[in-house]
Amino acid sequence: MANTKTSVRASGSLALLDALVKENVDTIFGYPGGAIMPIYDALYDHTQKLNHILVRHEQGAIHAADGYARVSGKTGVVFATSGPAATNLVTGIANAMIDSIPIVCIVGQVYAQLLGTDAFQETDILNITSPITKWNYQVTDPSEIPDVVAKAFYIAGSGRPGPVLIDITKNAQIDEFDYTGYQPVNYIRSYRPKPIVRPEYIEQAAQLINGAKRPFVLYGQGIILGNAEKEFQEFVNKSGIPSAWTLLGKGVLPTKHPLNVGMLGMHGNYAPNVLTNECDVLIAVGMRFDDRITGRLDKYAKQAKIIHLDIDPSEIDKNVKTEVSVWGDVKETLPLLTQLVEKKTHSEWLKQFKELNQKEYDVIIKPEMHPTEGEITMGEVMAVINELTQGEAVYVSDVGQHQMVVCRYAEQNHTRSNVTSGGLGTMGFGLPAAIGAHYAAPHRTVFAFMGDGGAQMNIQELGTILQYGAKVKIIVLNNNYLGMVRQWQQLFNDSRYSFTDIKSPDFAKVAEAYNIKGQRVFDRADLKPAIEAMLAHPETYLLEIKVRKDDNVFPMVPQGKGVSEIVLRAEDI
């Protein structure tokens, strides 16, 4: 039968841009160069449909796309040229892979006939990125572009999301072919994005939950990625089970939800860590039992029967042995489970969480968030921001002590409001990710929290803000140290502070050079007025706050210890 589709002659570059429009892409973060120049030339005529943000470094592009994806729920898109530009994406790709963030990276490559000749700016980016992408592919013929792009978006955004990379040779960008249009795909042979839900496992899980005296829910980012926040809240509300979140799961339940008992992990809250080893049934939803959550595996929840709900079968029994494994998309499995669980309150069990969390409040949170003397603390900054924003902002944090403080103390009413580098712990992530978050939610207040170390790793992205006017409230918590490393050196290396004392510029003056308003805060009396001024300013604003130099983040599960061995003070280590 004859093909009835009409065709037009189009270059590979035009076919690519048409595919992006058909995939409802609205924002691209990128940086042009020789091997991707034909795509940029075609983009010149597509700027009404595709908003391109010229970053100042390719790592800024990939982190911005990451922040955009986390806040919007869409797939981020990045453009970069070959060679050093492509390799500059590697850290951000690895970051997105371990945190399961959907990103499509489009990179240019040398002409097909030059592959393997060590041509100028040629790099084998496929082999470099194979371990850190969900899928990658090299296009050498323009006619491949529509199908490859369709596969890329489907693979990146379906199942357990992740980054993909398409490497397009220059000839494939320039050459023309008979283009019959773009068709998104929702099926690829041999690729099954989510397992078939098996009702018998749902029934077994419900039986365990209904018979439990001290059940405990651990929830992670898988719920956010699966758009299953509503389904999860219905499950928790009916079952009445105390629930604690992983670093990336923050926001699934509002901070003040009565069954939200705090953060898990090395610097999480005291009660959920201690009581992990006292529950009788542990229900893990959309999380992967990484080492920061479990501490020593041979001391982790040995008394509990464990139920694990996850879309990725490879995570089941990888670190923690389960009693019941519920494979599947949590948006599908949670409602089935909710139908079978009994409505309960578990008031006595919940009371234990409240008592232990009160102990943490008295020893740590109150003096950290509401000090009356001494230098400004990082927790105190968060207390003021909570008061002024009432949980309505988007919080993007870099990596370090401030990251733990923000994630512990920021009040949040909504999902997709906590953006941070979880699994890879990438310093320099915060500023570009906040730029991406702005483009995902331009009408929301977006904070970028950074330490004085991480702030300088991608500070050049202030130039992106200068050019495009992304509105970000930048807070640099400056303690003149690489704070988290210094804390470990103090606690575990006899206070031998080896190369963690860092000197930094006047960040407000740096911001001024980029035409960004800012100020420095040294005294407690100036803290709240300065944050009020920042929030009142309609554009980007940088606030450098000098905080206590030797402040430590507690509680803490010391390295090599179990979660129930979490300590409240340095002297307890």
As annotated, the active-site residues are 58, 120-121, 170, 484
Q: Which amino acid is at 261?
A: V
Beta bridge partners of 52: 28
DSSP letters, 125-180, are: HHHHHGGG-SEEEEE-SGGGHHHHHHHHHHHHHSSS--EEEEEEEHHHHH-EEEE-
Tokens matching residue 314 = 């490879």
Angle at 425 between CA 463 and CA 547, to 5 degrees: 70
Q: What is the CA radius of gyration of the chain?
A: 25
Q: Say if residues 42 and 36 touch (Cβ distance below 8 Å).
A: no
Q: Say if residues 194 and 329 touch (Cβ distance below 8 Å).
A: yes
Tokens matching residue 6 = 């009409």
Tokens matching residue 44 = 């010149």
CA–CA distance, 39 with 23 (Å, rounded to integer)? 17
The runs of H, that is alpha helices, within 23-57 are 37-43
- Give the full edge-to-edge strand order of the sheet including 305-310: 260-263, 243-245, 215-219, 281-285, 305-310, 324-327
Q: Give φ, ψ of 557 to 5 degrees.
A: -90, 105
Q: What is the DSSP letter of 501?
A: B
Q: How many angstroms separate the Cα of 427 from the Cα of each of 128, 423, 487, 511?
A: 21, 12, 16, 19
Q: Say if residues 287 and 293 touch (Cβ distance below 8 Å).
A: yes
Tokens matching residue 151 = 């596969």
Q: Say if residues 557 and 563 touch (Cβ distance below 8 Å).
A: yes
Q: How many angstroms separate the Cα of 520 from the Cα of each of 282, 377, 542?
A: 46, 15, 9
The H-or-E segment that residue 218 falls in is strand 215-219
Q: What is the DSSP letter of 424?
A: S
Dihedral of the CA atoms 494, 425, 89, 163 (nearest 10)? 150
CA–CA distance, 240 with 449 (Å, rounded to integer)? 34
CA–CA distance, 65 with 72 (Å, rounded to integer)? 10
Q: Which amino acid is at 229?
A: E
CA–CA distance, 391 with 386 (Å, rounded to integer)? 6
Q: How many Cβ atoms sit within 10 Å of the Cβ of residue 220?
A: 27
DSSP letters, 103-120, are: EEEEEEE--GGGTTTT-T
